[in-house]
Amino acid sequence: MELLDSLDHKILEILQLNNLTSQREIGNKIGLSAPAVQRRITRMRELGVIKKDIAVLNPEHLGQLITIVVQVEMEADKVEMVTKTKRKFEQTPQVQQCYYVTGEADFMLIVVVSNMKEYEKLTHELFFNNPGIQRFKSSICMDIVKSGLALPVPK
């Protein structure tokens, strides 16, 4: 059984805002006992509904980090090339996020580096060294207006 009911949804809603909320407190809010909450959470972790639990850091406290949005165009979308490129992006720690998208660009990347030298080096590794990539466009981020991973949870 894979389905989530409305209580599960309420739990997810709470945890994606603050996963340090105690089971007792969650239980109070949604009308369940702490153990019941705990079993549901465990189950959702096993199902993969909850992918991970993380602390979100403030980039402003970690030196002068540079965030860059990169649009990447591939030559002709050969499936193999795309797969390989995806894997490369995945494995690169500076690539915080990678979306494979429709439209002019094929990939949208969010990249975080410590300085421009590092970015230049990275472009060689990721783009110039990849014959499948036609061009890429870098937009420097001046302000991270909003940053999160929260998803809409069914009511």
Which residues contact DNA (rule: CB under 7 A)?
1, 7, 22-24, 31-36, 38-42
Comparing CA positions, the residue from 46, 2, 6 lying closest to residue 38 is: 46
How buried is 26 (Cβ within 10 angstroms: 0-12 exposed, 13-18 middle, 19+ buried)? buried
- The letter for the amino acid at 83 is T
30 in contact with its own copies (CB under 8 A): no
Q: Between residues 116 and 144, which has the closer beta carbon with respect to its own copies?
A: 144
Cα 53 to Cα 75: distance, rounded to the nearest angstrom: 37
Contact between 34 and its own copies per CB under 8 A: no
In the list 26, 32, 105, 126, the residue contacting its own copies (rule: CB under 8 A) is 105
Three-state SS at 33:
coil
Q: What are phi and psi of 72, to 5 degrees?
A: -120, 130
- The encoded tokens of residue 93 equal 């720690």
- In the complex, the smallest distance separating the C-beta of residue 77 from its own copies, rounded to whole angstroms, is 11
In the bound complex, what is the minimum distance in angstroms from residue 10's beta carbon to its own copies?
13
- Which one, 12 or 37, has the nearer CB to its own copies? 12
Q: Please identify, using beta-carbon distances, which residue of 35 and 86 lies nearer to DNA.
A: 35
Taking CB under 8 A as the binding criterion, the range among 27-35, 44-52, 126-134 that sits at the site for its own copies is 44-52
Q: Is 61 exposed, middle or buried (0-12, 13-18, 19+ CB in 10 A)?
A: exposed
- CB closer to DNA out of 31 and 152: 31
Question: Encoding tokens for residue 30?
Answer: 């949604």
Query: Which residues contribute to the site for its own copies (CB under 8 A)?
Result: 4, 12, 15-20, 47-59, 61-63, 65, 67, 69, 86, 89-90, 93-105, 107-108, 110, 112-114, 137-154
